[in-house]
Chains A and B, each alone.
Chain A
Amino acid sequence: MASTSSASTAPVARPVAPMVRRLAPLVIFTLLALLPLASALGLPGHWLTLVTRAMIVAIAALSLDLVLGIGGLISFGHAAYIGIGAYGTGILITEGRTELLVALPVVLLACAVFATITGYVSLRTRGVAFIMITLAFGQMAFYFAQALSAYGGDDGLTLYEKSTLLGREIFGNRTGFYYIALGTLAVCYWLVRRLVASRFGRVLRAARENAVRVTVTGYDVNHVRLGAYVISGMMAGLSGLLLANQTDFVSPAYMSWPRSGELIFMVVLGGVGSLYGSILGALAFLVTEDVLSSLTQNWKVIFGPLIVLFVLFTHGGIAGLVTKLRGRRDG
């Protein structure tokens, strides 16, 4: 259909993002913000702690969705960054340095360095080799932590203090911690959203679908992917920092490969690439795990098949389901 006029006519309006994608995050964050009120009204404090932990883990899941959902890179070693963040914080605290303004840059730097080196090597491979090499690097971090006999080794390290901000105790109060975690999650979510909508994000998304096309258009796909990988690693390290403060404990188990697998599951459960889905996925996972493990010690025997059935019978996770339901209602 050759256009006959050469003058630029007013462009057709760009379609607006689907309702669900815009509303869902708002709903999620609003509900999360209101939860402590329920606690004031009698909800057992255990739930507040659980949801705090879920939000902390959600930061890591969100960061994984950036590389996995948006970037298309299946990283099976992401728990390593949680571990680096936790250990960085824990070691500093044990050595008497509780100041957050010291811990935060240290954690971010450590994660960035680890991500740059391992990401650079990993991105030389594709497909299964990439999955396995990220798994292997995660294992390296795990074994390294086990080797730290000065800091607990395999038994882990108990922390007797929490991080402080400018000398002030900010993590002591349960409700206060809840809102710090919520705030951090919200900021991270906003950052990732901006990133995905940016020029950088567009190249990352396009490369997931057709890396050759993006390359011949003039981009270095590996540079872009490495960038996303490093940003993602730093964000997961932040999650580790908060986790150490919540549990007062750091251990190599934080970066075991089943943990990395669980992170992947949270992302898929929520809906790969939806971003807000990974928050839902983390919440759903941790709540289910909590409920099931209180029922029986052998809860993995139920959880394992649940994962299998979930994969076999669904497509698009919770986010996909919600969109589908809404779509049906809208006719």
Chain B
Amino acid sequence: MTLSLLIVQLLNGLQFGVLLFLVAAGLTLVFGVMDFINLAHGVQYMLGAYLAVTFVSLTGSFLLGLALALAAALLLGLALEFLVFRHLYERDHLDQVLATFGLILLLNQAVKMIWGAAPLSVPVPEFLSGNVRLMDGILYPVYRFALIAAGLSVGALLWFVVEKTRTGMLLRAGASNAPMVSALGVDIRKLFMIVFAFGTMLAGFAGAMAAPILSVEPGMGDTVLILAFVVIVVGGIGSIRGAFVGALIVGLVDTLGRSSMNDLLRLFMAPASARATGAALSSMLIYLVMAAVLFVKPEGLLPAKGRS
């Protein structure tokens, strides 16, 4: 692989990692603070994308559409929380897994019914279109840079909130020991709702931002969900820093793995089957990495302090 291609793939890996971070951050917070396994988190990502499709085409403006999509995603998330999730906080993990699994079935199908099964897309906004010239011969899309920038800023904002504010302190305390926080008189329900709203918005934002560069289709949240779980397991449950590091690792390994696997297999296979086999084998790569990490450090790379 040439240097320019390598740089492009590195940037792609970074961009994918940032996207995963946004989804995983919400997931790890919800699981870390509320001990709630939410398999439907991927669906929230998918809804963000679909809502972006609708609102951007309705308003004609990317930014306005994005804002509306976020608001709608938040509302839907809160509705789900009210109707289903809050009844599951006290239940054991098995019940949570099952109930949110049922939600995935429902919402994937509902999305198919409302928007149709064909893949949709959002046009890249004017002010973010075009390419940037990095070095000689390397052009990289402006939008992807914007995505990286947006994701990193959200990450920085999240870091600020979690490390420097009182709400953040409660979140970190809750991630280590939720009953204790409750016993200290904090309204745990309000804290849960804030955490949940945060998480939902992050996922929806990721979905909406991803819409212009990925194909928006039913079930798009499922792979992302599994990868997000891999991220938080690798990074350490309840840890935002862990989610960040984990997401970058997963993003880079996955992207670089795919492209190099493709090149490798093309050496002795026909291009079409090389691509198919390559895609499959490189999908396995991430899980091998996860298995290796868990083998050496079962609690993850950067576990939240205080968690066993």
Chain A residues with CB under 8 Å of chain B are 68, 74, 76, 121, 124-125, 127-129, 131-133, 135-137, 139-140, 143-144, 146-147, 149, 153-154, 257-258, 261, 264-265, 268, 272, 298, 300-301, 303-308, 310-312
Partner of B93, one of A131, A139, A301: A131
A301-B97 contact in complex given A133-B291, A308-B102, A312-B84, C-beta closer than 8 Å:
no
Q: Measured between C-beta atoms, what is the minimum distance from A276 to chain B in Å?
A: 19
B93: chain A residues within 8 A (beta carbon): 74, 127-128, 131
Segment of B54-62, B103-111, B137-145, B155-163 engaged in the interface with chain A: B103-111
CB nearest neighbor in B for A133: B294
Segment of B4-12, B184-192, B194-202, B273-281 engaged in the interface with chain A: B273-281
Interface of B is mostly: helix
Question: CA–CA, A127 to B303, complex, Å?
Answer: 15
Contact of A304 with B103 in the complex, beta carbons under 8 Å = yes
- Beyond the given A129-B300, A261-B98, please list 8 additional residue pairs across the A-B interface where CB-CB is below 8 A: A74-B93, A124-B298, A131-B37, A132-B229, A140-B283, A261-B97, A264-B97, A301-B106
State the 4 A-B residue pairs at the shortest beta-carbon distance, nearest first.
A304-B106, A307-B102, A147-B280, A304-B105
Partner of B84, one of A133, A154, A308: A308
Question: CA–CA, A306 to B99, complex, Å?
Answer: 9
Contact of A154 with B276 in the complex, beta carbons under 8 Å = yes
Answer yes or no: B94 CB below 8 A from chain A CBs.
yes
What 1/0 flags go to B219-260 for Cβ under 8 Å of A?
A: 000100010011001000100000000000000000000000
CB nearest neighbor in B for A120: B295
Contact of A132 with B287 in the complex, beta carbons under 8 Å = no
- The count of residues in chain B whose C-beta lies closer than 8 Å to any C-beta of chain A is 47
Contact of B102 with A136 in the complex, beta carbons under 8 Å = no
Question: CA–CA, A127 to B104, complex, Å?
Answer: 21
Contact of B298 with A306 in the complex, beta carbons under 8 Å = no
A312: chain B residues within 8 A (beta carbon): 84, 87-88, 99
Contact of B98 with A311 in the complex, beta carbons under 8 Å = yes
Q: Measured between C-beta atoms, what is the minimum distance from A230 to chain B in Å?
A: 17
A140: chain B residues within 8 A (beta carbon): 283-284, 287-288
Answer yes or no: B112 CB below 8 A from chain A CBs.
yes
Contact of A149 with B276 in the complex, beta carbons under 8 Å = yes
11 examples of A-B residue contacts, CB within 8 angstroms: A121-B291, A128-B37, A129-B294, A135-B229, A136-B229, A137-B291, A139-B287, A146-B280, A149-B277, A272-B94, A301-B110
B298: chain A residues within 8 A (beta carbon): 124-125, 129
Partner of B284, one of A125, A144, A265, A304: A144
Q: Measured between C-beta atoms, what is the minimum distance from B102 to chain A in Å?
A: 3
Partner of A264, one of B94, B290, B294: B94
A68: chain B residues within 8 A (beta carbon): 94
A303: chain B residues within 8 A (beta carbon): 102, 105-106
Question: CA–CA, A129 to B233, complex, Å?
Answer: 6
Contact of A268 with B287 in the complex, beta carbons under 8 Å = no
A121: chain B residues within 8 A (beta carbon): 291, 294-295
**B257-308: which have CB < 8 Å to A?**
273, 276-277, 279-281, 283-284, 286-288, 290-291, 294-295, 298, 300
Contact of B287 with A136 in the complex, beta carbons under 8 Å = yes
Question: CA–CA, A133 to B91, complex, Å?
Answer: 22
Question: CA–CA, A121 to B233, complex, Å?
Answer: 14
Question: CA–CA, A301 to B106, complex, Å?
Answer: 4
CB nearest neighbor in B for A117: B291
Q: Measured between C-beta atoms, what is the minimum distance from A318 to chain B in Å?
A: 15
Partner of A125, one of B37, B113, B294: B294
Question: CA–CA, A307 to B298, complex, Å?
Answer: 32
CB nearest neighbor in A for B308: A126
A153: chain B residues within 8 A (beta carbon): 276, 280
